[in-house]
Structure 1
Amino acid sequence: MPELPEVEVVRRGVERWVVGRRIETVQVLDPRSVRRHAPGPVAFAHELEGAVVGDAVRRGKFLWLPLTGPDGDPPQEALLVHLGMSGQLLVKDAGLPAEKHLKVRLSLSERPGTPAELRFVDQRIFGGMVLDRLVPTDDGAPGGRSVTGLPAVPARAAHIARDPLDPAFDADVLHDRLRRRRTGLKRALLDQALVSGIGNIYADEALWQARLHWARPTDTLRRPETHRVLAAVREVMDRALAAGGTSFDSLYVNVNGESGYFARDLNAYGRSGRPCPRCAEEGRSALIVREQFMNRSSYRCPVCQRAPRNARF
């Protein structure tokens, strides 16, 4: 599933190629991809046509496009896009063949040298698009990473916490919330209502970098440890962004259809049975292990990420 860096790569592409353009026509090729829009696919298309994409905003793994009216009215609603397991937003020239799993096609106003369409492709159909009203942010800060800094968020995403790359993110507030939880650290990091944007891959990478075990009880964390793991999350995500995200197969691509290459730089995730890079550099011999965690896998080094005696799973 795409995580924060992958969605941010897509957001930047949409910002570059789509923001400022009017949506001329909308084709819903598979109603399941707009199933969350209660009035139905016909109403979805009718409401979108004529709107201007005013921005591309991301909070955690959520991406939305605030829409202005044809007369430049302030955004009151947004096109909320969730990529799910396999969703892709692609900018394409109108004459190119449709992708096998093309679900929604938006034709955009003409702009010289830019593709004419924004396409939503989704093989597994866990993602989707929906028009949603914008509501003010609780703290008055911008809704998420964006250009305009509009202090609003789609109502359906209002429960999502800020992410570690958000300028308005408060590490001390997160530390206090972690201390009040009686759970394991990785489980807390994956709770999107607590801190957003961190998924299985980047949680494992950040915990490896911070030398913390995934089952460390959150109520035992010291403030410097919280700041250390957040610094690791930011550093890992910044490196992933520089590499265009992490692609293990063809399901994640950027808006131009290109894969990301951060998978080549992973230190823990997916490296079961391979040497721990840090231990190797420090003259120790240790192999990354794979452990069961919440019906998925978790990867760590048993030497530099030792299990706590009071582990919480």
Structure 2
Amino acid sequence: MPELPEVEVVRRGLEAHVLDGVFEDVEVLHPRANRGQDVPLADLLVGARITAVRRRGKYLWLDLGEDALYVHLGMSGQMLIGPTSSPHVRIRARVSGRDLNFVDQRTFGRWLYTPQVAGVPVPVAHIARDPLEADFDRVATARLIRRKRSAIKAVLLNQEVVSGIGNIYADEALWQAGIAPTRRASSLLQREAVALLDAAEEVMRRALAEGGTSFDSLYVNVNGESGYFSRSLNAYGREGEPCRRCGTPLRRIVVGGRSSHYCSECQH
């Protein structure tokens, strides 16, 4: 699943093209792309105006007033503006004269028309704030992290603790903060936990500036272009390569069922 920078790139692209647009037509081409919806999506969306394009963590939605169109990108979801020849179009929409296509090769993603609670769609209501939100409380989040007894890598991936951080940016933030992924979260000092959240924010802002991280054609922005932050990664996917701080070959281990890349010399 795309992480925060990739979803924010998509959000900004949609905002530039469909903000204040009105749905004129919607066609669901694959039932999984609108699973959980009892009423035909066209009946719900046609005539609705997009008043904002929002995101929390990895989760994206089009604000329609009291309700929202929740967009879950899954592993391969793409929101493409304009005509496309992709054989994996799952939903076609027309928004104020523009084509908006939901392309999803693996069909794990979906669109869902849903009410909002406190300004977020129901499926996102349990998700914690992310480090790029203006009202993100890093001190309180650091305290919450330190109450967990799991490995810090697993805690960073818990979207109910802090959202937006996935496997790539967890490895990058831990490397930048000099913290081993296996270290118990409860062993961190408050200043270490705050520094780790600062590192996560910095890494994700740098990734956002480079269009996100693309390893294949499954993640692209609304114009079909890939991000190139993969060239700047310091830890993720660099097993056996020298640490850019100390030269020690990076190791790959499994933490909480997820591959983790780190330096055994300068991450403690």
TM-score tier, shorter chain, comes to over 0.9
**Which one of 229, 232, 237 corresponds to residue 265 of structure 1?**
232
Deviation at 1:13, TM superposition (A): 0.3
Moved over 6 A (4+): none
SS where residue 65 of structure 1 aligns? strand
Deviation at 1:155, TM superposition (A): 1.2
Residue 262 of structure 2 corresponds to 300
Residue 286 of structure 1 corresponds to 248
Residue 104 of structure 1 corresponds to 91
- Counterparts of 2:228 and 2:157, CA distance in 1: 23
Give the TM-score normalised by structure 1.
0.84
Residue 141 of structure 1 corresponds to none
| Letter in structure 2 aligned against 1:58 | R
Cα distance change of structure 1 residues 296 and 23 upon mapping to structure 2, 3 Å threshold: same
* Higher-RCO chain (CA-CA 8 Å, sequence separation at least 6): 2
| Letter in structure 2 aligned against 1:77 | D
Q: Root-mean-square deviation (CA), in Å?
A: 1.0
Deviation at 1:293, TM superposition (A): 2.2
Cα distance change of structure 1 residues 184 and 295 upon mapping to structure 2, 3 Å threshold: closer
The 8 Å contact of residues 26 and 91 in structure 2, kept in 1 or not, is answered as yes
Deviation at 1:98, TM superposition (A): 3.5
Cα distance change of structure 1 residues 44 and 228 upon mapping to structure 2, 3 Å threshold: same
Runs of 5+ consecutive residues of structure 2 not aligned to the other structure? none
Residue 113 of structure 1 corresponds to none
- Counterparts of 1:243 and 1:97, CA distance in 2: 24
| Letter in structure 2 aligned against 1:85 | M
- Counterparts of 1:211 and 1:135, CA distance in 2: 38
Give the TM-score normalised by structure 2.
0.98
Residue 133 in structure 1 maps to residue 95 in structure 2: no
Max Rg structure = 1
SS where residue 52 of structure 1 aligns? coil
| Letter in structure 2 aligned against 1:26 | V
Deviation at 1:97, TM superposition (A): 4.5
Runs of 5+ consecutive residues of structure 1 not aligned to the other structure? 68-74, 111-115, 137-151, 280-284, 307-313
Residue 75 of structure 2 corresponds to 85
Percent identical residues = 53
The 8 Å contact of residues 36 and 129 in structure 1, kept in 2 or not, is answered as no
- Counterparts of 1:241 and 1:175, CA distance in 2: 23
Residue 125 of structure 2 corresponds to 158
Residue 222 in structure 1 maps to residue 219 in structure 2: no
User: Where does 1:34-183 land on structure 2 (aligned, <5 Å)?
Assistant: 34-37=34-37, 39-40=38-39, 43-67=40-64, 75-92=65-82, 96-110=83-97, 116-136=98-118, 152-183=119-150
SS where residue 52 of structure 2 aligns? coil
Deviation at 1:121, TM superposition (A): 0.4
